[in-house]
Amino acid sequence: NEKIVLITGASSGIGAATVDKVIEAGHKVVITARSTDKLNKIVKRWGEDKVLAVTADVSKLDQIQNVVEKAKEKFGRIDVVFANAGTGVNTPGIENGEPSEWKTMLDVNINALLFTAKACLPALKETQGHFIITSSTAGKKTLKGSVYGATKWFAYGFGQNLAAEMAEWNGRCTTICPGMVNTPFFDEAKPDKLDPSDVAEAVVYAISANPRCDIREITLMPTQ
C-alpha cells in the first residue's frame, strides 16, 4: 500500500538514492535539504504528483516544522520519516578538530535529529507511523573521528529509546547503521565501499515489513 515518506538529506548520497528506491516501490515522497536546485532536479525527474520538495535547514526547528505542514497540506498525512541528514566535517577528533566543526556536527547530527522527531511525531502518531534514523557503524564502535563517532552513538541511542516512546501508540523506529558508503560525504569514491542504493534498499525493506514486525536496527557493512 502506498505510503507518504518524508526524507531529510534528500539532495544527495543515501537520501537521494532512497528517494528513487522508495518511489520505485510505489510510494510518494516529501524531500528536504538546503540545496533547492538539487531538490528541484529530483522533482523534475519523478513529477510533482509523486514528489514534494520543501527547502529547509533541518537544524532549525521552525524550518522542519514548515516541511511537515507543507507535506500534510499536499498529501494529507505522513506515514514514514527517514531522518537521514547528517554531516562529518573532516571527522575531527579533539586534538586536531576545531570547536566550530564540532558545533556543525552537533547541530546537524544531534539537534536536527531531535527537531525532526519533534516536528514529525504528531503526524506519525496519527498514522501509527514509522521513524527511521541514519546512524552509522561509527555509532557502535570507536574510531579516530571522536566527535562524529559520538554524534552517531547519540543517533543510535536515541533511536533505541524513541522506539520505546513510539511503541506506546504502535509506532515503530528503525535505526540504520551503515559502514562506509560511496557518497559526496567522502572526497574519493572507492569500490570496496557500499553503494547508496544498498542503504536505500534497507530503508525500503524496513518500510515494507509487516506492521507486526518492529525492526529496531539494521547494520550493513561492505563485504571486503
Where in the sequence numbering do the catalytic residues fall? 148
Find the shortest distance in angstroms from Cβ 87 to ligand NJP: 5
Say if residues 181 and 223 touch (Cβ distance below 8 Å). no
Find the shortest distance in angstroms from Cβ 128 to ligand NJP: 25
- 87 vs 127, which CB is nearer to ligand NJP? 87
Find the shortest distance in angstroms from Cβ 131 to ligand NJP: 14
Taking alpha carbons only, the member of 64, 13, 54, 43 closest to residue 181 is 13
- 36 vs 96, which CB is nearer to ligand NJP? 36
Q: Which residue has the cell 566550530?
A: 100
Say if residues 132 and 83 touch (Cβ distance below 8 Å). yes
Beta bridge partners of 177: 219
- Positions that interact with ligand NJP (CB under 6 A): 9-15, 33-35, 38, 57-59, 84-88, 108, 134, 136-138, 178, 180-181, 183-185
CA distances from 82 to 88, 97, 200 (A): 19, 29, 10
Find the shortest distance in angstroms from Cβ 51 to ligand NJP: 15
49-84: burial string, b at 16+ Cβ within 10 Å, e else: ebbbbbbbebbeeebbbbbbebbbeebeebbbbbbb
- 167 vs 189, which CB is nearer to ligand NJP? 189
